[in-house]
Structure 1
Amino acid sequence: MRPLLVLKIDVDTYRGTREGVPNLVRMLGRHDAGATFLFSLGPDHTGWALRRALRPGFFQKVSRTSVVEHYGFKTLMYGTLLPGPDIGAKAAAEIVAARRAGFECGIHTWDHVLWQDNVGKRDHAWTARLMEQAEQRFSELFGEAAPTHGAAGWQMNAHAFARHDAAGYRYASDGRAQLTDQGALLDRNAGPYRLQGYQHIQMPTTLPTLDELLGREVDGKTIDTGNIAEHLLQLTSAEKRDHVYTLHAELEGQKLAPIFEQLLTGWKAQGYQLASMADYYEKIRDVALPEFPIRWGEVPGRSGELIVLDTSL
Structure 2
Amino acid sequence: MARIALKVDVDTLRGTQEGVPRLQQLLDECRIQATFLFSLGFDHTGWALKNIFRPGFFQKVSRTSVIEHYGLKTLSYGVLLPAPDIGVKARAEMRSVASSGHEVGIHTWDHRVWQDYVRDATPEWTLRQMNCAWDRFGEIFQTTPQTHGAAGWQMNATALAHLDTWQIKYSSDGRAPLNLVPYRVKLDGLKTCEHIQYPTTLPTLDELIGVDDMTGEEVIAHLLTLTANNPNDQVFTLHAELEGQKFLPLFKQLLIGWMSQGHDLVSMQELHLSWQKTGQLRHLAELPFTWGEIPNRSGELMRMPDEYAI
Maintained 8 Å contact 2:43/2:110: yes
Q: CA deviation at 1:239?
A: 3.0
**Identity over aligned pairs, percent:** 55
Confirm whether residue 224 of structure 1 aligns to residue 215 of structure 2.
Answer: yes
Maintained 8 Å contact 1:292/1:311: no
Partner SS state of residue 191, structure 1: coil
Partner SS state of residue 5, structure 2: strand
Which residue, out of 259, 266, 278, partners 2:250? Answer: 259
Partner SS state of residue 250, structure 2: helix
Maintained 8 Å contact 1:191/1:206: no
Distance 1:226 1:50 in 2: 29
Partner SS state of residue 81, structure 2: coil
Partner SS state of residue 145, structure 2: coil
Q: CA deviation at 1:42?
A: 0.3
| 1:48 alignment partner AA | W
Unaligned runs of 5+ in 1: 179-184
Matches within 5 A, 1:1-313: 2-178=1-177, 185=178, 190-196=180-186, 197-217=192-212, 222-285=213-276, 286-287=279-280, 288-310=283-305, 312=307
Describe the superposition over 1:198-241 as per-residue Cα deviations: whole angstroms up to 9, x where unpaired: 11000000100011001101xxxx21123211111111115332
Aligned residue pairs total 299
Q: CA deviation at 1:3?
A: 1.4
Distance 1:309 1:51 in 2: 28
Partner SS state of residue 302, structure 2: strand
Aligned match of 1:182: none
| 2:271 alignment partner AA | Y
Describe the superposition over 1:76-121 as per-residue Cα deviations: whole angstroms up to 9, x where unpaired: 0000000111000000000000000110000000000000000000
Partner SS state of residue 262, structure 1: helix
Unaligned runs of 5+ in 2: 187-191
Partner SS state of residue 177, structure 1: coil
Q: CA deviation at 1:171?
A: 0.3
| 1:34 alignment partner AA | Q
Distance 1:258 1:153 in 2: 24
| 2:261 alignment partner AA | Q
| 1:4 alignment partner AA | R
Distance 1:56 1:224 in 2: 23
Q: CA deviation at 1:291?
A: 1.2
Partner SS state of residue 47, structure 2: helix
Distance 1:269 1:251 in 2: 23
Maintained 8 Å contact 1:24/1:249: yes
Partner SS state of residue 226, structure 1: helix
Distance 1:208 1:174 in 2: 15
Describe the superposition over 1:249-292 as per-residue Cα deviations: whole angstroms up to 9, x where unpaired: 00000010000000110111111111000001101123221110
Q: CA deviation at 1:311?
A: 5.1
Distance 1:20 1:102 in 2: 17
Partner SS state of residue 292, structure 1: strand
Moved over 2 A (4+): none
Higher mean alpha-carbon deviation, 273-282 vs 234-243, is at: 234-243
| 1:214 alignment partner AA | I
Distance 1:297 1:276 in 2: 26
| 1:58 alignment partner AA | F
Distance 1:312 1:226 in 2: 32
Distance 2:251 2:99 in 1: 22
Partner SS state of residue 274, structure 1: strand
Aligned match of 1:181: none
TM-score by length of 1: 0.94
Distance 2:167 2:24 in 1: 27
| 2:140 alignment partner AA | L
Q: CA deviation at 1:298?
A: 0.2
Partner SS state of residue 228, structure 2: helix
Q: CA deviation at 1:312?
A: 2.7
